[in-house]
A and B are shown apart, each in its own frame.
Chain A
Amino acid sequence: MKHESPPRWFDSLLDKLAPPSLAEEIKGDLYEIFCDDLSKKGITRSKLNYIFNGLGFLTKSFFWKKRQSSHVNNTIMLNSYFKMARRSLHAYRSNTVINILGLVIGIASALVIFSVIRYELSFDSFHSNADKIYRLVRVSGTNMAILESSECRTGVSFPVPNALREESSKLAKVTSVLYNGDALIEVPDKSGAIIRRFQENSTALVEPSFFSIFDFKNTNFKWFEGNAKTALEKPFSIVLTKSASAKYFPDGNPMGMTLKIDKRFDCTVTGIIEDFPSNCDFPFTVLVSYSTLPVVNSRMMTDWYSVDDSNYTFVVPAPGFTVDEVQKDIARVHASHTPKDLHESRYYLLQSLSDMHFDPRFGTFNGRTITRQTLLALGIIALFLLLTGSINYINLATAQSTMRSKEIGLRKVMGSNRKNLMIQFLTETFLVVLMAGVFALGLSELLLFRFQALLNIKPETFYFADPVVLMALSLIIIFVTLFAGIYPSLLISKFNPVTALKNRFTTETVGGFSLRKVLVVAQFTITQMLVIGTFVVIAQMNFFQTTEIGFVHDAIINISVPERNPVKRETMSQQLKSQSFVSDVSFSFSLPGGVNRNRSYQDIARTDAKAREDIKVFEFHSIDPSFLDLYKIKLLAGRNFTHLDSAPYILINKSLMNNLQLGSPEAAIGTSLIKNEEKYMVIGVIDDFYSNSLKSSVDNIGMVMDPNAFRKVSIKLALHDNSSLPDAIEQIRKIWTATYPDYIFDYQFLDENIKAFYEQEQKYAQLFQLFSFTFLLIGCLGLFGLITFVINRKGKEIAVRKVLGASVSGLLFMFSKEYVKLILISFVLAMPVTYYVVNNWLSNFSHHIELKWWLFVSPGFIVLLIAISVVCAKSIGAANRNPVDSLKCE
């Protein structure tokens, strides 16, 4: 009898549909009946019957019911996946460690960056109607079309908010905030004697409406005492934050107590509030009622010209009005109060509160903004860090796969299908990434605390328990698992079992090698870019710090002079000069440079000036005769002040001289200039110096000798060694405090003050160093893993080569030339991009370094050197090994 079989297509249909546990018995029974039929009926009838009987099963409910036993089976497989993953991770320990290390670094940095971005984005977003709040900003310039040429500032003239409140119907709420710089706060006891004294830079004048606009809804902000509506109504009311009140009144209830501000104003405490959150652009701890301002200085409230850039106005437009309509209405109100030349060159525009923290043109009370581009760049770096960690994994996993080909082959023979294998390898990847993720969470927490100052953030609490962070971490884990795991698992599961068992794969024949090259190049391109960037930033920083700025600034201490009494000043000067460590003392209004100095700008013109353009703005200085000497500012022509001068004389610098078109320094001597409607005679011309940072160009400077305007004392120290510095400062403190017993001693070194100009750049330099170090570390880890693998594979080849006479150096060359090539390619790729970016960054500064070729080549060379040393360190052992050891077995 000819062998007949039931229709095969129907069998496979049953296989597909039936639960695996049932398919076998069903097909068995059907086959038995089929054989039975075959002996009685014809083949066609039997086949039909087979199908008919089989279809019968499809109508039965048990056939479709999910069986308990199949679940058990799945979990068994799941357990097996994890067990196998654990075993193979254990078997390739060194690779696992390298993979985990690379990923830990990558994930931890990504988490840190994530936290930074999240923190920055959270600024000022917690008010219930944050999207409806706008800040009034002042843009000055004759041509509004070119915003770049306009002056962007934040200050609003004092009468503007009140006028808007009364005359504009398109604004629902208006509130003014005046951030007061330094303030001396004194706590008197009942008899009026001062018991505590604090120098604060966190006082602000606010209106009651402040809290109706900024409600801090989504924070734990609350009023402990007093209430938002009435506390800040009356002049000389004061509201303290919890921490400030604890500082001023460590014992007892502060409500109704008096605080003396700047020795002049007695204010009554009318409320206690929770501290403002750290992600808030109002760094206030002491709030004084805004209504105090007109009482103290009523003239200011009607002056539409003058502006104080720390006087902000926030508005909420009435419902239904667009920003454009509101801006037009504000312009209308402004125009109705001011002359043409003012309202045609000054505009008040609306800036959304959500942009306040991200627009560097205007700035905030906090003094810090961060552009969205910077955040985006940080995000991209985070992504790259994850990618480069994943690349290590992909490289090592594909390289390793050749070693595992026997295992895969056997698994396939034993019935594992592609899906199983893929799940198996993804499970391995997942375990690695999960472990890395857990370590990274801890590490990122450490990093956040360690680099708090650098990252400019204040983590509120630790964030292990923060669901958003955990969610981000899980997303990162999933993303990395898939990104790093998919390709190797596809590649591995594709192996043909026969070839795999014969172990015919070599590193080169597995399709991954060319991909590995690409990935290594990608990794090192990113690394090179960052390393070059670091070099340039550091070179620029060096340039900032070493360039001559026109005056000496080392070993100079500056202290404020709080009182005008000339006798006190003279006594202090004598006392200071009698100290052996003081070489010179000078009094002045301000300092020649530094972030922290008094700035005053005034108009000056020649006597024959007619048009508005002829009037120049200059930075005002008032100095005593020793100032030029102490700071070593060069006199180009004419003479310095003497103590005998009493006539209105002025010293001008070269750029003011040029701007006023006075010709040469010699010619300028003796000219009369008009300042404050008074005539001043030029008695000398000084050389230009950089009062502001080297990021901008030199300013016009004019110096008069007006002892009434002396606010600072500069002390030039002559110390032989640094160890005596604390004693010297202590001596100075004693002398100063004896002179001004009612004030707080606060000193500053001028060189630190000047360094503060470059704080942001300094941070960039540090961040760049950190990032390039991280990338280099991850890249080298991956390289190390790869070279370890290659050496293990090529043990015999090395031995044979040595037997045939290869030298150690020849072998090292053989190993490194591949990687040298890859790194050179990455260098070539990194160059143009980096050049473009770096050039762009440098063009922000009016004084910057030239981009020399060595700025690019030397970092490239260093990366190459590090990579080669990693490769050589690993391969030198293999090259030195006795060939007998590797050849004797097998």
Chain B
Amino acid sequence: MSRIYLGELEELVLLMVALLNDEAYGVTITKELETQANREISISAAHAVLHRLEEKGFVKSKMGGASDERGGRRKRLFKITAYGRQTLEDLQNTRNTIWSLIPKPSAS
């Protein structure tokens, strides 16, 4: 398996994009991270990670419609790509395999 360059924060954000499905953009992702993983990151950091993910091809983006709550400005909506999803699954599988191999501490 080729090596996947996916940092810990990147993985989390990617997971959030997958979770939020059609509503993933800067603000929702920071909020979701806070509620789900109890991680507080700044909005700029979220943007930076999203850009990196897009460069690596894990997510794709398009400009969404304008809404009043944003002062008429459009938002960039992110969507996980098939490659991104595959990568997440691979990571999960690897972990599962490893976990299954780790001997469980005996109950006694």
A residues adjacent to B (C-beta < 8 A): 5, 24-33, 35-36, 53-54, 56-57, 59-63
The smallest beta-carbon distance between B30 and chain A, in angstroms, is 8
Q: Is the CB of B52 within 8 A of A29?
A: no
Given A57-B47, A59-B44, A62-B47 in contact, is the A29-B75 Cβ separation under 8 Å?
A: yes
Bound CA–CA A232/B22 (angstroms): 96
The smallest beta-carbon distance between B22 and chain A, in angstroms, is 16
Q: Is the CB of A62 within 8 A of B43?
A: no
Give every chain B residue within 8 A of A61 (Cβ-Cβ). 48
Bound CA–CA A425/B71 (angstroms): 35
The smallest beta-carbon distance between A13 and chain B, in angstroms, is 15
The smallest beta-carbon distance between A10 and chain B, in angstroms, is 13
Given A33-B27, A62-B51, A62-B52 in contact, is the A28-B44 Cβ separation under 8 Å?
A: no
The smallest beta-carbon distance between A24 and chain B, in angstroms, is 5
Q: Is the CB of B75 within 8 A of A28?
A: yes
The smallest beta-carbon distance between B28 and chain A, in angstroms, is 9
Identify the closest chain B residue to A35 (Cβ): B69
Q: Is the CB of B43 within 8 A of A25?
A: no
Q: Is the CB of A28 within 8 A of B71?
A: yes
Given A25-B74, A25-B75, A28-B75 in contact, is the A60-B48 Cβ separation under 8 Å?
A: yes
Name the interface residues of B37-85: CB closer than 8 Å to any CB of A: 42-45, 47-48, 51-52, 63, 69-71, 73-76
Bound CA–CA A29/B71 (angstroms): 10
Bound CA–CA A5/B72 (angstroms): 13
Q: Is the CB of B27 within 8 A of A29?
A: yes
Q: How many pairs of A and B residues are in contact by the CB < 8 Å rule?
A: 59
Give every chain A residue within 8 A of B69 (Cβ-Cβ). 31-32, 35
Given A33-B27, A62-B48 in contact, is the A24-B74 Cβ separation under 8 Å?
A: yes
Identify the closest chain A residue to B74 (Cβ): A24
Bound CA–CA A30/B42 (angstroms): 11
Give every chain B residue within 8 A of A28 (Cβ-Cβ). 70-71, 73-75
Give every chain A residue within 8 A of B70 (Cβ-Cβ). 28-29, 31-32
Q: Is the CB of B47 within 8 A of A60?
A: yes
Given A31-B70, A35-B69 in contact, is the A25-B76 Cβ separation under 8 Å?
A: yes
B interface majority secondary structure: helix
With beta carbons under 8 angstroms apart, the residue of A24, A27, A31, A56 that contacts B44 is A56
Q: Is the CB of B71 within 8 A of A60?
A: no
Q: Is the CB of A26 within 8 A of B74?
A: no
Q: Count of B residues near A, CB < 8 Å?
A: 19
The residue in B27, B43, B48, B74 that gathers the most chain A C-beta atoms within 10 A of its C-beta is B43
Q: List 3 A-B pairs, minimum CB-CB distance, nearest first.
A: A56-B44, A28-B73, A29-B26
Bound CA–CA A60/B43 (angstroms): 11
Give every chain A residue within 8 A of B44 (Cβ-Cβ). 53-54, 56-57, 59-60, 63
Give every chain B residue within 8 A of A62 (Cβ-Cβ). 47-48, 51-52
Identify the closest chain B residue to A61 (Cβ): B48
The smallest beta-carbon distance between A23 and chain B, in angstroms, is 9
Identify the closest chain A residue to B52 (Cβ): A62
Bound CA–CA A698/B69 (angstroms): 103
Give every chain B residue within 8 A of A32 (Cβ-Cβ). 27, 69-70
Q: Is the CB of A56 within 8 A of B43?
A: yes
The smallest beta-carbon distance between A388 and chain B, in angstroms, is 53
The residue in A26, A29, A53, A63 that gathers the most chain B C-beta atoms within 10 A of its C-beta is A29
Give every chain A residue within 8 A of B51 (Cβ-Cβ). 62
Return 22 A-B CB contacts under 8 Å, by A number. A25-B25, A25-B74, A25-B76, A26-B47, A27-B71, A28-B74, A28-B75, A29-B26, A29-B47, A29-B75, A31-B69, A32-B27, A32-B69, A33-B27, A53-B44, A56-B42, A56-B43, A56-B44, A57-B47, A59-B44, A61-B48, A62-B47
The smallest beta-carbon distance between B60 and chain A, in angstroms, is 14
Bound CA–CA A56/B63 (angstroms): 22
Q: Is the CB of B43 within 8 A of A29?
A: yes
Given A32-B27, A53-B42, A56-B42 in contact, is the A25-B48 Cβ separation under 8 Å?
A: no
Identify the closest chain B residue to A27 (Cβ): B73
With beta carbons under 8 angstroms apart, the residue of B26, B42, B45, B52 that contacts A25 is B26
Bound CA–CA A325/B4 (angstroms): 84
Bound CA–CA A61/B45 (angstroms): 11
Q: A33-B43, A56-B45 are in contact. List 8 more A-B contacts (CB 8 A).
A: A24-B63, A24-B74, A28-B70, A29-B25, A30-B43, A32-B27, A35-B69, A60-B44
